[in-house]
A and B are shown apart, each in its own frame.
Chain A
Amino acid sequence: MDRRKSLKSIILGGVAGGLVLHGCKPENLADSDEAVSKAAEVFFGRTPEEKELIDELNAEQFFNEHELATLKVLCDLILPADEKYRSASDSGVVPFIEFMAKDYPNFQTPLRGGLMWIDHESNKNFSLEFKSATLLQQKQILDTIAYPDITIADNQRPLGVQFFSLVRNLTLTGFYTSKIGIEELGYKGNTPNVWDGVPEEVLKQHGVAYEEEWLAKCVDQSKRNEVAKWDDKGNLLT
């Protein structure tokens, strides 16, 4: 399947004209959008075709302003800012979801339809769109969809539950793959280092230990720079 063609056919064929906003991006996305396209310009090993695809996706707009504003409210209910933490939207989750909706078109209908559904719920109960409802009212709606019955298969759960699970998943993955999310998580890797085993206190905490005979086989990191030499039997001499 040519996913680019299918993507276009979904956007141009399946979506009402008023929602397709080619070339007129909502104001509040301008900054984060720039960050996204900048990231694509920074090399991360793209082939020319892959770069072109990213540019194409960035040139298109899927969500309209109201949808983006509602998404932001939802994402920030999932991960709100407080004195200790940054919010989901601070980390760029909304433009990430916008990108994914274009990159993986199967997300489009559940997300767009889910946003309309949640507005409908809010209008029905409070005569207000979801984004304009009070925090208490918003939470009242979330409380009905945020806790799935895990004895039921994912795709058999009510649509509101499925919608919120999708938004929560995308929010969490978007947040924890952002710079501020990785910092908050405390991930320490992705940097040159010399692995020399699990720290002693961690071994203790988890109730395991290294065996002496196993360690004896492992690399002596003080000699890693010496060129390897072996005897005829394969015993390392250096």
Chain B
Amino acid sequence: MQIIESSTIYDVIIVGSGAGGGMATKILADAGLKIAVVEAGPFFDPADPEHQTQLKWPYESPRRGANTVRPFGDFDSAYGGWDIEGEPYTNGDGSNFRWFRSRMLGGRTNHWGRISLRFGPKDFKRKDQDGLGDNWPIGYEDVKPYYDKVDKLIGVFGTNEGLPNDPDGFFLPPPKPRLHELFYIKGARKSNIPVIPSRMSMLTKRINNERGICFYCGQCSRACSVYADFSAGTCLIFPAQKSGGQIDLFVNAMVREVTTNNEGKATGVSYINKEDRKEYKLKGKIVVLAASACSSARILLNSKSEQHPNGLGNSSDIVGKYLHDSTGGSRSAFIPDLMNRQMYNEDGVGGMHVYTPWWLDNKKLDFARGYHIEVWGGMGMPGYGFGFNHNDFNKYFGLKVGGYGNPLRDEIKKYYGSTVGFGGRGESIPQKNNRCEIDPTTVDEFGIPVLKFNYQWTEHEIKQVGHMHDTFEELIHNMGGEVLGGKPSRAEKNGIYAPGEIIHEVGTTRMGDDPKTSVVNQHQQLHDVNNVFIVDAGPFVSQADKNPTWTILALSWRTSDYIIEQLKMQNI
């Protein structure tokens, strides 16, 4: 099979169109550079009626939104999931890493929870505090100007609270709490657990005349047709195109490797066009990888050459190592005081209006690092699963469970909106042995060797999730509720989610000053090759108890500025 080469030479080839790739596209295209964006999935625009799932009713899906096809249900906007036909991955003995991929323009930013938290000063220097893991080579002060710019460009609601490790920003005003959130606030106060307005990237107020304002359908996971929430396509790539950026968008194009020349410098990428299943090459002066932490590591490891026998940028043998995800634990409760609801529209924004940032001192605890608490509940739109075990709560009143006939209708209404749930999302300690590497025995349907994962949680993460459950039980008690389900046992690792299930995986191409122990420098530039950059979450030294997207965006902008400056100085 002949590889088809394009004669165009791009200034920058960007691999991936999610948060990191979207931001690099916007900044580099706005600077006048000629850009190729190479995305493994199809084009996606939530304003296109054919792509829309927003404001659809459950009965528009023959499975009523069940998750037999998409892991978060039919109406979730992510094309992909933890298992994709034709794109396998493997795990080593005793490992169960779950790898979520969203193959579409904008990647996982189309369906994510929009929780947009800055890392704080402590988050960049964790080793200084507990001796575990490593410090970042940069600190909050290096990233702050970019967080500020991201807030203003994209829009995030929240409040300035003056907290030491949850920095203030340029916030839009938050929405008022819903009823179950008032219960949560009240319950948390009894245990001195702080609650503040959540920080999420939906426009509760206009930020420009191009994007719409939130109309409170609560469906951000379906991607917003008026662009009132952040996704990389709608808020970065489309605006860059509209303002005249020279952007060639390659979709359904699965990058296989970065190509290099005799000097070992990158010359572009090769990719498989999924439509004709042929291999193509693109030429570029600079390659920016933004394919996601694991995909970018995979591309580097598969980019072997005489100059880079261990894979591109991998003279340190660190590529793929230090893979880590957020910890996760969850629990739900029945709150009798939330029974017999009056009906009104409380969809609100998609997700929580209030949350709890980490509030304790680990010096007094038997595990390292903290977690934040997310809360859900309310009279949501019915979907598949609504009404299952509809009157189980009868048992709390000594009433019979089960039955048939029209009394069921009254029970459904009585209990509607009386369930709340909590999710803890915490920081783990990066481990060198937790890793992805190339599995030489397995290939995907595009002929590209796949990743093999090895990942084990440590005692710190398992104990942290145990602490989450104790906290949730205390909160539920304070809210006058009944805890649903038993507390997961120590043998069940306290119910910690499998690594990868929280979809915050980072760290596979970590940054550092020492080329022997890190893959990229503080500008996210490969130590080994100066014209390759990584702007997804691969360069994270540690994933704080915050969602990674806002930091991906800020660092991608910072790297893009560095690329522009280095090009001006003719250093690349």
Contact status A185-B413, CB under 8 Å: yes
When distances are taken between beta carbons in the complex, the residues of chain A under 8 Å from B170 are 230, 234
Contact status A187-B182, CB under 8 Å: no
Instruction: Give which listed residue, B345, B401, B403, contacts A191 with CB less than 8 A.
Output: B345
Convert A76-99 into 0s and 1s, putting 1 for each residue whose CB lies closer than 8 angstroms to a CB of B.
011110100100000010001001
Convert A165-202 into 0s and 1s, putting 1 for each residue whose CB lies closer than 8 angstroms to a CB of B.
10011001111111101101111111111111111011
Contact status B409-A85, CB under 8 Å: yes
Which residue, B175, B404, B413, has most C-beta atoms of chain A within 10 A? B404
When distances are taken between beta carbons in the complex, the residues of chain B under 8 Å from A189 are 217-218, 345-347, 379-381
| B57 in the interface (beta carbon within 8 A) | yes
When distances are taken between beta carbons in the complex, the residues of chain B under 8 Å from A177 are 58-59, 64-65, 382-384, 386
Contact status A234-B168, CB under 8 Å: yes
**Segment of B199-207, B235-243, B305-313 engaged in the interface with chain A:** B199-207
Closest to B173 in A: A219
Bound Cα distance A181, B384 (Å):
13
When distances are taken between beta carbons in the complex, the residues of chain A under 8 Å from B395 are 150
Contact status A214-B343, CB under 8 Å: no
Using known A-B contacts A179-B59, A224-B204, determine if residue A77 contacts B405 with beta carbons closer than 8 Å. Answer: yes
Instruction: Give which listed residue, B51, B379, B401, contacts A148 with CB less than 8 A.
Output: B401
Contact status B342-A205, CB under 8 Å: yes
Bound Cα distance A43, B61 (Å):
9
Instruction: Give which listed residue, B175, B185, B416, contacts A185 with CB less than 8 A.
Output: B416
When distances are taken between beta carbons in the complex, the residues of chain B under 8 Å from A92 are 59
Contact status B408-A79, CB under 8 Å: yes
Instruction: Give which listed residue, B66, B160, B185, B215, contacts A103 with CB less than 8 A.
Output: B66
Q: Which residues in chain B, 168-197, are within 8 Å of chain A measured between CB atoms? A: 168-179, 182-183, 185-186, 197
When distances are taken between beta carbons in the complex, the residues of chain B under 8 Å from A54 are 62
Contact status B215-A192, CB under 8 Å: yes
When distances are taken between beta carbons in the complex, the residues of chain B under 8 Å from A175 are 387
Contact status B215-A227, CB under 8 Å: no
Using known A-B contacts A177-B386, A189-B217, A234-B170, determine if residue A195 contacts B175 with beta carbons closer than 8 Å. Answer: yes
When distances are taken between beta carbons in the complex, the residues of chain A under 8 Å from B56 are 44-45
Bound Cα distance A184, B69 (Å):
29
Bound Cα distance A184, B343 (Å):
11
When distances are taken between beta carbons in the complex, the residues of chain B under 8 Å from A37 are 62
When distances are taken between beta carbons in the complex, the residues of chain A under 8 Å from B337 are 206-207
Using known A-B contacts A150-B395, A185-B413, A187-B379, determine if residue A208 contacts B64 with beta carbons closer than 8 Å. Answer: no
Contact status A196-B176, CB under 8 Å: yes
Closest to B389 in A: A169
Bound Cα distance A3, B83 (Å):
11
Using known A-B contacts A176-B387, A182-B382, A185-B413, determine if residue A190 contacts B404 with beta carbons closer than 8 Å. Answer: no
Expressed in whole angstroms, the minimum distance between the Cβ of B288 and any Cβ of chain A is: 27
Contact status A219-B206, CB under 8 Å: no
8 closest cross-chain pairs (CB), A and B: A172-B387, A177-B58, A192-B215, A219-B173, A189-B347, A197-B176, A45-B53, A186-B343
Known: A77-B405, A150-B401. 11 other contacts (CB 8 A): A57-B62, A96-B64, A100-B66, A147-B403, A169-B387, A182-B382, A185-B412, A191-B345, A199-B344, A219-B204, A234-B171
**What is A's interface to B at a CB cutoff of 8 Å?**
1-3, 36-37, 39-40, 42-45, 47, 50, 53-54, 57-58, 77-80, 82, 85, 92, 96, 99-100, 103-104, 142, 146-148, 150, 164-165, 168-169, 172-179, 181-182, 184-199, 201-203, 205-210, 214-215, 217-220, 223-228, 230, 234-236, 238
